[in-house]
């Protein structure tokens, strides 16, 4: 059996094991172990199993992940998300679909503190959906905006997905984090325009709030910013520090976690229970991410030994004259994978194959990172396994049927068509900030 053919069988085996509900880290690791044993010998396979955990855990770039997770956990557990939604509501509730717009903007703000799409969707589901349903909003709109706006957590810094991509693709993490700023803002803006347009054309989707609930008094609006100003300082500090080269992503994560503790303590919201819960969340989440990373690194080594990435890259000579065809093909692949796999699994499974292909046509790796992460986040919304949709469903219970949530998300997926066309057609949207550093 040739090397590339063995690599192809390995890919099929991984997908089959995942279909059997085996954890993706185990599926990747088991396939890699047996593949290495066949390709080389059992001693090589055992050696890779022994060395990989240390190689992954000792990677300095990955140390930013627990710090960013801890920062988001502290921000969530100290109640800053409640203040953020209240401020957004006072500032945007007078617009058509104001509560949905407020949810979208609050999600963007919380995403900048958590770095996690799932955490953003779970938090805003508890805060915003009851408010929108109480106001008579369409259930599809109410649930759809929460599930969709949660994906901003993968784009707006700090983004855990960009850190992982940067480590495994050997690309500057700082530039990747900066590259996500404008695409994240673009996504939030397009979502907002769609919400306002729909609610303007069909007011029944989002009945106007009573005057006393619209935040028409400017004094109340400015006052609502007082509880969330520390979050603004946190976001601006991290993005500004990265842009100005004041610190590395790892240092930014540590500084963000420390600043989150200081802010919470200054507001009297930090106690031992909050700190313990936040640290526990950071440890368990990091452990689960690293476990998948172990399997992914083993699988990457297996594919490298089979020569499959180089083989596929050589085939791209046919496509080199039209890179757009490659982008379209990759888009289809990521959309299909995103329907069935979790984001981290899609990233680590596809990167060893996709990166050489795009390198063969001269694609910028920073731009490629934005495109891949964006497609991965779209996968969180697509059936049958739209993970963000199921997160929302787990919060709302029987209040909103699953089909209604997917229907509401459909409008945001239409927005993603426009957003992806802009990001692919105008790479400078992603590259402007990194190139100006």
352-370 pLDDT, tens digit per residue, is 778 877 877 778 999 999 9
pTM of this prediction? Answer: 0.78
Distance CA 116, CA 8 (A): 32
pLDDT grade for 315, boundaries at 50, 70 and 90:
low
The residue extents of the domains of the chain are: 3-436
The tokens of 158 are what? 């700090």
Q: What is the mean pLDDT of residues 125-152?
A: 87
Distance CA 320, CA 362 (A): 9
**pLDDT above 70 covers what percent of the chain?**
90
- Kindly tell me the number of DSSP H helices and DSSP E strands found in the chain: 22, 0
Distance CA 106, CA 109 (A): 5
Alpha helices in 115-210 (DSSP H): 117-134, 139-149, 160-169, 173-179, 181-201
Q: List the one residue out of 196, 135, 141 whose CA is nearest residue 409.
A: 141
Which sign, positive or negative, has the C-alpha torsion 87, 90, 91, 96?
Answer: positive
Please tell me what DSSP assigns to residue 210. P
Tell me the pLDDT tens digit for each residue of 2-37. 777 888 888 788 878 877 878 777 888 899 899 999
pLDDT grade for 85, boundaries at 50, 70 and 90:
confident
Please tell me what DSSP assigns to residue 40. S
3-state helix, strand, coil in the chain (%, to 5): 80, 0, 20
């Amino acid at each position: 059996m040739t090397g590339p053919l063995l690599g192809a069988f390995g890919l099929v085996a991984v997908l089959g094991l995942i279909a059997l509900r085996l954890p993706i880290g185990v599926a990747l690791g088991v396939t890699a172990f047996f593949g290495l044993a066949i390709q080389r010998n059992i001693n090589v396979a055992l050696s890779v199993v022994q060395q990989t955990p240390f190689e992954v855990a000792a990677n300095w770039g990955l140390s930013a992940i627990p710090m960013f997770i801890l920062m988001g956990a502290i921000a969530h557990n100290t109640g800053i998300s409640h203040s953020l939604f209240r401020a957004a509501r006072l500032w945007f509730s007078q617009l058509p679909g104001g509560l949905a717009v407020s949810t979208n903007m609050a999600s963007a703000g919380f995403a900048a503190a958590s770095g996690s799409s799932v955490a953003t969707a779970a938090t805003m589901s508890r805060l915003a959906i009851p408010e929108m349903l109480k106001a008579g909003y369409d259930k599809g709109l109410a649930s759809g905006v929460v599930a969709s706006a949660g994906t901003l957590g993968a784009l707006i810094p700090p983004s855990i997905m960009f850190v992982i991509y940067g480590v495994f693709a050997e690309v500057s993490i700082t530039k990747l984090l900066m590259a996500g700023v404008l695409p994240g803002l673009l996504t939030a803006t397009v979502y907002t325009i769609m919400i306002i347009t729909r609610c303007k054309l069909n007011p029944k989707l989002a009945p106007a709030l009573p005057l006393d609930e619209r935040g028409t008094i400017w004094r109340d609006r400015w006052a609502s910013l007082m509880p969330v100003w520390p979050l603004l300082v946190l976001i601006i500090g991290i993005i500004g520090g990265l842009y100005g080269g004041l610190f590395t992503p790892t240092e930014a994560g540590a500084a963000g976690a420390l600043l989150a503790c200081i802010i919470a303590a200054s507001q009297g919201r930090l106690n031992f229970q909050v700190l313990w819960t936040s640290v526990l969340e950071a440890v368990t989440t990091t452990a689960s991410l690293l476990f998948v990373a172990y399997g992914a690194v083993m699988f990457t080594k297996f594919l490298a030994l089979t020569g499959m990435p180089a083989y596929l890259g050589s085939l791209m000579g046919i496509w080199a004259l039209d890179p757009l065809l490659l982008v379209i093909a990759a888009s289809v692949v990521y959309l299909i994978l995103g329907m069935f796999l979790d984001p981290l699994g899609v990233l680590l499974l596809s990167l060893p194959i996709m990166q050489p292909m795009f390198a063969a046509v001269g694609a910028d790796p920073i731009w490629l990172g934005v495109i891949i992460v964006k497609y991965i986040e779209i996968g969180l919304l697509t059936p049958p396994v739209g993970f963000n949709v199921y997160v929302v469903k787990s919060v709302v219970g029987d209040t909103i049927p699953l089909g209604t949530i997917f229907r509401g998300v459909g409008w945001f997926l239409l927005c993603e068509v426009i957003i992806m066309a802009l990001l692919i057609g105008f790479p400078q949207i992603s590259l402007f900030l990194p190139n100006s550093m």
